[in-house]
């Protein structure tokens, strides 16, 4: 029989008392409730379902030709894992919970619009006027500014902006578009 806690004992005594009362026979309006209580009482008294762990397999009991040792090793590894599953404690700091997501699924796909160059790939020519994008992957969208590259930092008015992935750093740049040419007809 399973371990009975105080709460389960109280529930069991209440159900037993309810079912032993003659007012709750099969003809009363509470017969459905009595049947529910009978089912609940049976589940309280039943043994918990145990996981069936297969017997250990050795080379004599393994009946596969050619791959007997590998099959037996896999079988026994599965058996050991099943036996140890009952000893597992959920712990956020456990080494088994340190799974890392694949980088492709954990971040948005790296979409770069045409013409934008990542600062990690290459930098513009020194003294070149460019457009810089700050935090192009943010939820709010990129902030785009006109700046001049000075060989290590971008200069945006009186502000120096360094390349990088931080909030106040330029992540991408592109050459400034050429002004439209006047067409003579």
Question: Is it the case that residue 94 has pLDDT exceeding 60?
Answer: no
Question: What is the residue extent of each domain of the chain?
Answer: 6-45, 51-87, 117-175
User: Average pLDDT of the chain?
Assistant: 70
> Residue 163: CB partners within 8 Å, gap ≥ 6?
119, 120, 123, 153, 154, 169, 170, 171
Q: What is the pLDDT of residues 5-20, one digit of tens each?
A: 667 677 777 777 777 7
Greater confidence (85 vs 13) lies with 13
Could you tell me which of 15, 32, 85 has the C-alpha nearest to residue 4? 15
Q: Which residue has the tokens 């017969």?
A: 31
Q: What is the pLDDT of residue 158?
A: 80
Q: What percent of the chain has pLDDT over 90?
A: 2
Greater confidence (128 vs 36) lies with 128
Q: What is the pLDDT of residues 134-147, one digit of tens each?
A: 765 556 566 788 88
Greater confidence (110 vs 39) lies with 39
Confidence band (pLDDT; 50, 70, 90) for 103?
very low
User: Which pTM does this prediction carry?
Assistant: 0.35
How far, in Å, CA of 164 to CA of 119, rounded?
7
Q: What is the pLDDT of residue 15?
A: 72
């Amino acid at each position: 029989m399973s371990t009975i806690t105080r709460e389960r004992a109280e529930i069991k005594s209440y159900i037993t008392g309810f079912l032993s009362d003659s007012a709750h026979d099969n003809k009363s309006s509470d017969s459905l409730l009595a049947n529910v209580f009978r089912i609940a009482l049976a589940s309280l008294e039943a043994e918990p379902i145990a996981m069936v762990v297969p017997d250990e397999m050795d080379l004599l009991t393994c009946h596969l030709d050619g791959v007997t040792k590998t099959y037996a090793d896999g079988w026994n590894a599965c058996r050991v894992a099943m036996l140890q599953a009952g000893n597992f404690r959920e712990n956020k700091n456990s080494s088994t919970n340190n799974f890392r997501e694949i980088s492709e699924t954990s971040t948005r796909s790296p979409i770069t619009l045409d013409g934008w160059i990542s600062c990690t790939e290459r930098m513009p020519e020194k003294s070149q006027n460019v457009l810089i994008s700050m935090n192009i992957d943010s939820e709010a969208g990129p902030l785009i500014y006109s700046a001049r590259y000075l060989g290590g930092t971008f200069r945006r008015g009186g502000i120096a902006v360094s390349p990088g992935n931080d909030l106040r750093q330029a992540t991408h740049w592109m050459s400034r578009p050429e002004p439209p040419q006047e067409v003579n007809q």
